[in-house]
Amino acid sequence: MIISQQKPLKDLLHSLKEYKKIFLVGCGECATACKSGGQPEITKMQCQLEAAGKVITGSCIPSAPCVAAKLKTELAKNKKVLAQSEAVLILACGLGVQSFKDNDRLDLAVLPACDTLFGAVMDAQGNFFEKCSMCAECVLDATAGICPITLCPKSLLNGPCGGVNQGKCEVDNQKDCAWVLIYKELEKNNKLESLRKIRLPRDYEKSSKPHKLVIS
């Protein structure tokens, strides 16, 4: 899940200062879950912009605006009001913004309403936690399912640094050291022997951007 949060209203009004007629786009998945771009947020945003003198021409919430097919369906439904708009404000992550830009045939101004924060898992209470850095070289098989790239501030691959103190991280002493967690998990499963293997430095060529995956 991609976590985003809305930009301050004053920043949005600044980015919209040249435009009067605005169309709003939300997200039915991630932004709805983290309350940055679902129906309540679209409704609130419309009220705030109208109070600031903007004209909201319409809105839609694709189930996944980052998926072109789902976005295009909503764009087709709103073709007439989009043609009357000057700008589109996207209440979604940066992927949703760029997906709209790629599929826009009206040459509208496409603006982000949110800042994209991180990829996360959601716990049973609805809280979000960053667990994966999407580094393109997963090591979870060797680290008991605990990611040192994300959970260690130094992204160390072969054990803890010298600053670990009573199992806590030297960068943030309220956090457990990722490698202490990995050690305990491997110990519990009788797999400590795997720590003897020296892992080579990461191949950063694998994480060079932008990535693509072509489905043939």
Looking at the domain assignment, is residue 151 inside a domain? yes
Is residue 177 located within the same domain as residue 114? no
Looking at the domain assignment, is residue 103 inside a domain? yes
Is residue 104 located within the same domain as residue 157? no
181-197 residue pLDDT tens: 999 999 998 999 989 99
Confidence of residue 86 (pLDDT cuts 50, 70, 90): very high
pLDDT confidence of residue 36: 97
CA gap 174, 188 in Å, rounded? 23
Residue 210 scores a pLDDT above 90: no
Confidence of residue 171 (pLDDT cuts 50, 70, 90): very high
Is residue 172 located within the same domain as residue 82? no
CA gap 162, 174 in Å, rounded? 17
SS3 196: helix
Query: How many structural domains compose the chain?
Result: 2
Is residue 99 located within the same domain as residue 154? no
Looking at the domain assignment, is residue 213 inside a domain? no
Instruction: Please state the pTM of the whole predicted model.
Output: 0.86
Is residue 109 located within the same domain as residue 140? no
Confidence of residue 92 (pLDDT cuts 50, 70, 90): very high
37-56 residue pLDDT tens: 999 999 999 999 999 999 99
Beta bridge partner(s), residue 89: 24, 111
pLDDT confidence of residue 178: 97
Spatial contact of 38 and 29, defined as CB atoms under 8 Å apart: no
Beta bridge partner(s), residue 165: 168
- Domain end, chosen from 60, 85, 118, is at 118
Q: CATH no. for residue 21?
A: 3.40.50.2300
Is residue 168 located within the same domain as residue 111? no
Query: What is the residue range of 161's domain?
Result: 136-206
pLDDT confidence of residue 214: 85
CA gap 63, 67 in Å, rounded? 9
